[in-house]
Chain A
């Protein structure tokens, strides 16, 4: 199967192409078959190729397709590169991706806003899967960049899928532009890397990375981090992700939870060789992760929109992954990437079921009491939540625990660990809040569950993976990626790590079910200000709008007429002015003409006399 590796990205691409050229004229059922089927087939091929790869025992497998371009010594080739990292990634992308596609065939069926957009939706989704696969399979940073930009594009297209609402368009453009800022940094990183090492081939570059001096390695590491930060919605380029929830919920599940947003994690993991040479850059990765983790988990606590809660949660979970990479627990980071893909996809899909059943109601305070009426979504949400909170034995527990314990040992002291544990506590708090408010209590909106097998089937599979994904895959990944954690679990730090989230659940239950009154705290002026500060996402949007957007708009407004043109207009006006003055001399009077001739004669004679 390995020789058919190219089929893995090619199948979704073919699906996209088929849907693109038929211009939405195919019957929806065939669209569904093509859309989900192409990804499903890709998953099968990936599975087959992966098994063969694991059995072969080789460290990597490369399939060269063609040389993209050849200019002097710049010869990036389109080569697919399979190693444990990309294998895990492609497995997640095709596997989880297929489940989400399957769910979407039901979710998007006879959609209320875009009933004619069914084919367009799956075209974009397939294109996304293709791009994401190119991102992780590309053996060259330029190919990676192709996928990188491709997923950004699809993200833009899908966030703005309901394009008739200008707000969605705004959210889509914001996502694209903010991540482009990161992409720009990344592109500069590529320029620098090429200048220093003469190749963008990842393996070649990493092999030659030893030639880099420390400063250069740090620069490259920081620039690539810039790219990763943008794509993975980390501070300071995180502001686009909550708005990106404007897209259909399967999109949020696939792109803004399971796959695309983890591309930054993949990039840093892939370029580990550079970060090994640049401790400063690596520390920056960890700091970015920690800061994002804290900021977003506090923010999640104050959101009311179920998808925004999940979005902030995603940011914080990716913060864990960044922190993992930063503190050196890179296999644990990848492990968390995978488990997070399971449980976060589950959470999003389940919330999508809820939203659909409530006729697109997303405010958790307008839900309530749903656990009886929507049992499958509720069960799925619950399972996803406990995995998110990292209750022991769930998949999230395995990976998060490994990260935090590595952080404990980090050279700078236990600060990363402490921050991570605090965030874990907060995670428990906001997750509990979400579950309690939305599913317990009294019913505020009457749901109509219309989900069928194609919708709850994926939920079930993902639920199983969320629970068991940790221990099922732990040993395999431990093998493939290298040792995931080193610390025995009987350890004070380990104990705190395990217990604190549980405390969070208990506290959250009491507070949000109203059994414990904290109104005096929340309603105090300080509490209120803090709440609004958190709710706004720590005012990043507010600041960015004033620092970047507003000045740009101002310039655009005042300079619409192009100030440079003024120079030419003035020249033209002056020339015209000369004409008018000159025309005045042409009075038509004979004697005036004669007088001028006389003056001319005198001037000529004066010139002659003076030379």
Chain B
């Protein structure tokens, strides 16, 4: 493996629309995707809500961005992990999400975290 390739994990933790963190986080990820690093996205807590289907932001006058997650595949960003407990606590299942994700236990995600060179929370 090329030693110049870094493992960079983006952790989405906030609900969409109430603040800009997830949206600007996604903008960061799209740029980083062009650099051919080993990128992964993890959705923990309210971060999962960013992936909820059927978001219609017309009424609040803010541009929606849930569909942008679907574009990640085209950038070869394929590691999307969702924390099982966060998903279950919110009464959601994988079917409620706009993209395919891998649902994992916290201990497994925690182990992946320790393998990273960089972890950025959004």
A associates with B = no
Chain A contact residues, CB within 8 Å of chain B: none
Chain B contact residues, CB within 8 Å of chain A: none
